[in-house]
Amino acid sequence: MIKAINLTKHYDKVVALDNLNLDIPDGEIFGFLGPNGAGKTTAVKIFTGLLMPTKGEAIIGGHDIQKEPEETKKILGLVPDTPFVYQKLTGYEFLNFVGDLYDVPEGLREKKINEYLEMFELKEHKNELIEDYSHGMQQKIVFSAMLLHNPKVIFLDEPMVGLDPKGARMIKEILSELSKRKVTVFMCTHTLEIAEKLCHRIGIINKGRLIALGTKEQLHKMAEEQGDRGVKDNLEDIFLRLTGAGEYDNIIKYL
Ligand SMILES: Nc1ncnc2c1ncn2[C@@H]1O[C@H](COP(=O)(O)OP(=O)(O)OP(=O)(O)O)[C@@H](O)[C@H]1O
Ligand SMILES: [Mg+2]
């Protein structure tokens, strides 16, 4: 459902993405992990048509995002790293506006909007301007807007940041349910606990290069093979081993 073929992005001298190859099947929840500046957002922007790659192809549901942007965007949903919303619209107006953009029929749209507002406890704020919403409330509106047109593939860039525990749990439940309905989920996150519980497979990117790909068990094995001491069977230890982090002795000296 999501394919990257030699996907590469250069910003002047910086190689933000270096020959990324991925093949993610229908219904998979794929976790894309990596340190700050590793290239995760760059990849999401290319997959969703917000950025042109320097080289390579991004294929979503059989469509090349560069050659068939409109066809591809119809089946895509995106929750970006910073919520993109019109501050001078109310939450309800914004959702209606997005429904218009994606041609969601009016009757169905009304039902869905009301259901999402209820689910995220935003009903009593539906007629307030988005500029008065908290960060988490904006995130919930963006998430609702992304669901309106029933996307087949969802890209999420740090979707849980700013959400309260109930909101985060709600999103986890929604993603699990969507996955059962064969929706494919591509999620960048630093919250390893969420990745560990939710994702079927995990890719780790470091300095633009995919350095590990597989289930948590496969990554654990890989980390053990690379290390000379035991790596614990949790994603945090595995991640730190594979990305070469985890030596803090010198920092503590200068505190
Ligand atoms: N518009 C830009 N111009 C120049 N360099 C950029 C631009 N956007 C990103 N970069 C560089 O590309 C690299 C990858 O950035 P990217 O935002 O994809 O990282 P990330 O993995 O999403 O990081 P984070 O975890 O902090 O969100 C970084 O070195 C960054 O400085
Ligand atoms: Mg990012």
Query: What is the rounded distance in angstroms from the CA atom of residue 50 to the CA atom of residue 160?
Result: 22
Among protein residues, the one with the nearest Cα to ligand 1's atom 27 is: 36
pLDDT, tens only, 46-65: 999 999 999 999 999 999 99
Q: How many CA atoms lie within 13 A of 192 on its CB side?
A: 12
pLDDT, tens only, 159-202: 888 899 999 999 999 999 999 999 999 999 999 989 999 999 99
pLDDT, tens only, 190-238: 999 899 999 999 999 999 999 999 999 999 888 888 875 677 888 888 8
Is the predicted pLDDT of residue 68 greater than 90, yes or no?
Answer: yes
Please report which ligand is nearest the Cα atom of 243: 1
33 lines ligand 1 (CB under 6 A): no
39 lines ligand 1 (CB under 6 A): yes
Is the predicted pLDDT of residue 155 greater than 70, yes or no?
Answer: yes
34 lines ligand 1 (CB under 6 A): yes
List, in order of start, the domains of the chain with CATH numbers: 2-75+152-253 (3.40.50.300), 85-150 (no CATH)
Residue 122 phi, psi (nearest 5) = -110, 5
Please report which ligand is nearest the Cα atom of 10: 1
pLDDT, tens only, 2-37: 999 999 999 999 999 999 999 999 999 999 999 999
Q: How confident is residue 246, by pLDDT bands cut at 50, 70 and 90?
A: low
